[in-house]
Amino acid sequence: MTDGSKDKVKGKAKEAMGKMTGNHSKVAEGKADQAKGAAKDAVDDARRDLRDRSGPKDPLITDDE
């Protein structure tokens, strides 16, 4: 489980607990945790995409040469 996923699960639990108890600040805290998890996942995806990109090692050398 990634850090982003952990934050999302933790946020869902906080949000649910806040809704059950009527604690609006817990609901907001849970939603913030979920957003933080989504942001972490987006950063991880971007890093993975950049790492997986293939191209010439030297930007001055193209496939045409």
| Spans of all domains in the chain | 1-35
pLDDT over 90 (residue 30): yes
Using a cut of 0.85, tell me whether the model's pTM lies above it.
no
DSSP 8-63: HHHHHHHHHHHHHHT-HHHHHHHHHHHHHHHHHHHHHHHHHHHHH----SSTT--T
Q: What is the pLDDT of residue 44?
A: 92
Residue pLDDT, tens place only, 36-47: 999 999 999 988
Choice between 65 and 28, residue whose per-residue pLDDT is larger = 28
Residue pLDDT, tens place only, 16-25: 999 999 999 9
